[in-house]
Amino acid sequence: MSSTRLAPLMLSIMCVLGCHAAGSPTVTTTTTTTPPSHSPLAADAVGGITDPTLRAIVGDHWEFTMRWSPTYATTLGDHRFDDVLAPRDAQAIERVTAERDALHERLVALAPGPLGEVDRVTHALLRDRLTADRAMDVCHLHEWNVDSGGASILGELSYLVELHTVRTDRDAANLVARMAMGAKAIDDTIANLAVGLADGRVASAEKVRRAIEQLETELAKPLETWAMATPTWVTAPASDPWPPGVRARHAAMLRDIVAHQIMPALARYREFLHDRVLPKARITDEGLTGIRDGDACYRATILSHVGLALEPAALHQLGKDEIARTDRELAALGARVLGTTDLTSTIAKLRTDTTLYFSSREEILEVAQRSLDRAKAAIPRFFSVLPKTDCVMREIPAYEAPYTTIAYYRQPHYDGSKPGEYFVNTYKPETRPRFELEALSWHEAIPGHHLQIALAQELGAMPMFRKLDGSTAFVEGWALYTERLAEEMGLYSSDLDRIGKLSYDAWRASRLVVDTGIHALGWTRSQAEAYMRQHTALTEVNISNEVDRYIGWPGQALAYKVGQLEIFKLRAEAETALGARFDLKAFHVVVLGAGAVTLGVLRDRVQAWITAPR
C-alpha cells in the first residue's frame, strides 16, 4: 500500500495559507531569511505544458494544493507554510470546495482538441481527478469517518516531527508553531464528527472502539515516550551551530505544547468518541450501505480510486472469478510443497504451523532488509531506467502497529531530504508468516512502489502533479504486477515463498469481493472476515485489520486487482503483436514513463508503442 496519492480534499481537509491557531507561542529566532512569496516549484509545477491557458490553470491548481496542504508542501521543499497546519473547520471546507470547483470549471471550458499530445493528457488527468474529487463530496467523510491508523489525527501529529526536517533554529521554530495548532485541529475534528452525528452519519462501532483503544493506550504513556514531544533534533550535536540556549528553548516549548495542549485535546477526543459517538455507532451495517447516499458515495470512491465508473456487481463477479483461479492454484501448490490434500487443509497448514511464522521482530526486519537488497541487485536486468533516489526499510511505529496493515510505502521527499521508505509491521511477530514477507517486500519497495514512484518524481519536463500524484489503480496495480514479475526476476527463495505470492494474489482478488460486499451488498464484518478466512492464508489479526481498513477506506482496495489485470492484459497484447520484437525493458519504460496515469491513458500509450515504426 502506498501513501503517495493525496486523499480527496474533503477527506484530508488540507491546509489554508496563513491560518494560525489562537494561542500559538511566540518564537524567537536569530535566522533572518524568510520564505519566498511564490512557490519555489512554480516552474516545475507547469513543466512541459505549452498551451498558455492550460499552463495557467495547472499553475493555479498547484498553488491551490500548496496553500491547502502545507505539510505536503514541506515534503516537497516549499517552505512558505512550514508554520501552519490544516484547519478542519466548516469555513475552510467551504473555501477549498469553492476554489476546487472554480478550477474544474476552467478545465472543462478548455477544449482539449487543439492541444498537443502532452497537454491533452495533462488536461484529461487533472480534469478527471477534480471530477472524482467533486463526486466524493457526497460522502461527507470528514463528518463521520473515524480512523486509528496513520491517517488519524493522532497519526498525523505524530508523523509531523518526522516529516518536518529540522536543520536550523527557524525550522524548529516553525515546527513548534505547527504543533501549537494541533489542539485546534483535534477540536475541529470533534466538531466535524458532531455535525455528522447530528445529521445521522456515524462510523461503525468497531472502528470507533479501535480508535478509543489507541487513544487510551497512548494517553497512558509518559510524555517522554511520545515521539512528537521528543524528536531527535532536541539533542544537540557536539558542535551546535544554533545560538546558545535556542535548541533547549524550542525543545521545552514543544514538550509543553504536547503536555498541556495536545494531550488534553486528545483526551477530549477520546471522551467524545466514547460518550457520544460509540453509543450511536453502527454495529451491523458497517459499510456505506449504512450511510445516507451510501450508493452514490461508493460509486464516487470507485471512480476516485479505479478511474472508471465500474458497476459494483461486475467488480464483485470479477473477484469471484479470480478467487476460483487462486483456489485451484493454491490447492495444487500446497499439495506439492506442504503435502496437503485440498485448499482447506493448505490454508489450515499455513495458518497453524508455528514453524512458518517469525519468532522475533529482529527476524522480520532482517528478512525484509535482505529481500530489499536482493531486489536492488536484480532490477538492472529488467529495467533500463532506474531511480536515483534510494529506498530504505523502516519499522512501523509502535503507536500505529497494532491498528494498521502489514506494511506500507512512503514516498521520498521531492527535495531529496528523505529517501523512499518501506515500513514493515513487527507487532506480535509470532502472527507474521515468513512465507509472505518476500512478496510483500517486492510490492512495497522494489520493483514495486519505490521503483514506480521514485521514477515518476524524477521525470523530466512534466507537471508536478503528474510526477507526484496519480491513479490508485496504476500505483497499486503496478505494485501487484511486480509480485508476479519477481518470479521472472528469480527473486523468490523457495516454493514456500511462492505460496506466499499466490496467497497474496488471492488476498487482492478477495478484496474485490469483500469491498463490494461490505459497501454495496450489505455484508457484515463477520461475513467479510469469513470469506477471507476461507480463500486466503492471511492470519486472523491481518484479516481483522484488513477488513477494518476496507470499512474505513471504501473503494481503495478495488484498485489493486483492476490495475494489475490491465497491465498484464496490455503486456500480453504487446507480446502477441510484437512477437520476437517484444522487449520487456522497453515495455516497462512505456508503462512507467508518464507517471501514474489512468488506465485509459496507459492503454493509449501502450497501443501507440505497439504500432510505432521500428
Averaged pLDDT for residues 332-355: 96
What was the pLDDT predicted at 497?
97
Residue 165 has pLDDT above 90, yes or no: no
Question: Tens digits of per-residue pLDDT, 227-250?
Answer: 899 888 888 888 889 999 999 999
Dist. CA 165–CA 160, nearest whole Å: 9
Residue 7 has pLDDT above 50, yes or no: no
Q: Where are the beta strands (DSSP E) in 36-80?
A: none
Beta-carbon contacts of residue 249 (< 8 Å; ≥ 6 apart): none
Cell readout for 148 is: 486509528
Give backbone dihedrals phi and psi of 181, rounded to 5 degrees, phi first: -90, -5
Residue 609 has pLDDT above 90, yes or no: yes
Cell readout for 227 is: 515521539
Dist. CA 320–CA 534, nearest whole Å: 13
What was the pLDDT predicted at 284?
84
SS3 content of the chain, % helix, strand, coil (to 5): 65, 5, 30
Beta-carbon contacts of residue 90 (< 8 Å; ≥ 6 apart): 191, 192, 195
Q: Is residue 299 part of a domain?
A: no
Where is the domain boundary, 283, 306, 326? 283
Averaged pLDDT for residues 365-370: 98
Please, what's the largest Cα pairwise distance for the chain?
Answer: 73
pTM here is 0.86
Give backbone dihedrals phi and psi of 150, rounded to 5 degrees, phi first: -65, -20
Cell readout for 566 is: 490491465
Rounded to the nearest 5 degrees, what angle is found at the Cα of 215, between the Cα atoms of 214 and 217?
65
Residue 35 has pLDDT above 80, yes or no: no
Cell readout for 108 is: 472543462
Task: Write out 542-560 in H/E/C secondary structure.
Answer: HHHHHHHHHHHCCCHHHHH
Question: Tens digits of per-residue pLDDT, 449-508?
Answer: 999 999 999 999 999 999 998 999 999 999 999 999 999 999 999 999 999 999 999 999
Cell readout for 307 is: 478511474
**63 and 151 fall within a common domain:** yes
CB 511 within 8 A of CB 314: no
**514 and 404 fall within a common domain:** yes
Residue 414 has pLDDT above 70, yes or no: yes
Residue 188 has pLDDT above 90, yes or no: yes
What was the pLDDT predicted at 1?
67
CA distances (Å), origin 73, targets 15, 84, 91, 389: 10, 11, 22, 19
Q: Is residue 177 part of a domain?
A: yes
What crossing angle do the helices spanning 437-444 and 361-378 adopt, rounded to 10°? 50
What was the pLDDT predicted at 30?
33
**552 and 589 fall within a common domain:** no
Burial 556-591 (b: 16+ CB within 10 A, else e): bbbbbbbbbbbbeebbeebeeeeeeeeebeebbebb
The C-alpha torsion from 369 through 374 and 378 to 383, rounded to 10°, is -10
Residue 28 has pLDDT above 70, yes or no: no
**450 and 408 fall within a common domain:** yes
Cell readout for 202 is: 456515524
What was the pLDDT predicted at 162?
82
Supply the mean pLDDT for the chain. 91
| Predicted confidence band of residue 2 (pLDDT cuts 50, 70, 90) | low
Rounded to the nearest 5 degrees, what angle is found at the Cα of 224, between the Cα atoms of 222 and 228?
105
Q: Is residue 431 part of a domain?
A: yes
Beta-carbon contacts of residue 167 (< 8 Å; ≥ 6 apart): none
CB 503 within 8 A of CB 330: yes
Averaged pLDDT for residues 402-415: 89
Averaged pLDDT for residues 106-123: 92
**558 and 599 fall within a common domain:** no
Q: What is the DSSP letter of 184?
A: H
Averaged pLDDT for residues 248-260: 96
**274 and 340 fall within a common domain:** no
Q: Is residue 303 part of a domain?
A: no
Cell readout for 518 is: 461490505
Dist. CA 579–CA 423, nearest whole Å: 39
What was the pLDDT predicted at 36?
57
**44 and 22 fall within a common domain:** yes
Task: Write out 269-297 in H/E/C secondary structure.
Answer: HHHHHHHHHHHHCECCCCCHHHCCCHHHH
What was the pLDDT predicted at 356?
96
DSSP string, 226-263: -GGGS-GGGSPPSS--SPTTHHHHHHHHHHHHIIIIIH
Q: Is residue 269 part of a domain?
A: yes
What was the pLDDT predicted at 234?
85
| Predicted confidence band of residue 79 (pLDDT cuts 50, 70, 90) | very high
Q: In what order do the strands lie in the sheet with 391-395?
A: 391-395, 420-424, 407-410
What percent of the chain is modeled with pLDDT above 70?
Answer: 94
Domain that holds residue 173: 9-283
**577 and 518 fall within a common domain:** no
**111 and 33 fall within a common domain:** yes
What was the pLDDT predicted at 232?
87
Q: Is residue 514 part of a domain?
A: yes
Q: How far apart are the first and last CA of the chain?
A: 37
Among 150-154, 179-183, 456-460, which is the least confidently predicted range? Answer: 150-154
Task: Write out 73-102 in H/E/C secondary structure.
Answer: HHHHCCCCCCCCCCCCCHHHHHHHHHHHHH
**415 and 486 fall within a common domain:** yes
What was the pLDDT predicted at 368?
98
| Predicted confidence band of residue 37 (pLDDT cuts 50, 70, 90) | low
Beta-carbon contacts of residue 234 (< 8 Å; ≥ 6 apart): 247, 250, 251, 254
Question: Tens digits of per-residue pLDDT, 376-398?
Answer: 999 999 999 999 999 999 999 99
Q: Is residue 546 part of a domain?
A: yes
Among 10, 510, 555, CA closest to 298: 555
Residue type, 77: G
Dist. CA 603–CA 610, nearest whole Å: 11
**432 and 452 fall within a common domain:** yes
Question: Tens digits of per-residue pLDDT, 506-563?
Answer: 999 999 999 999 999 999 999 999 999 999 999 888 899 899 889 989 999 999 999 9
Where is the domain boundary, 241, 266, 283? 283
Number of domains in the chain: 3
Q: Is residue 491 part of a domain?
A: yes
**214 and 339 fall within a common domain:** no
Where is the domain boundary, 262, 283, 304? 283
Among 16-20, 113-117, 333-337, which is the least confidently predicted range? Answer: 16-20
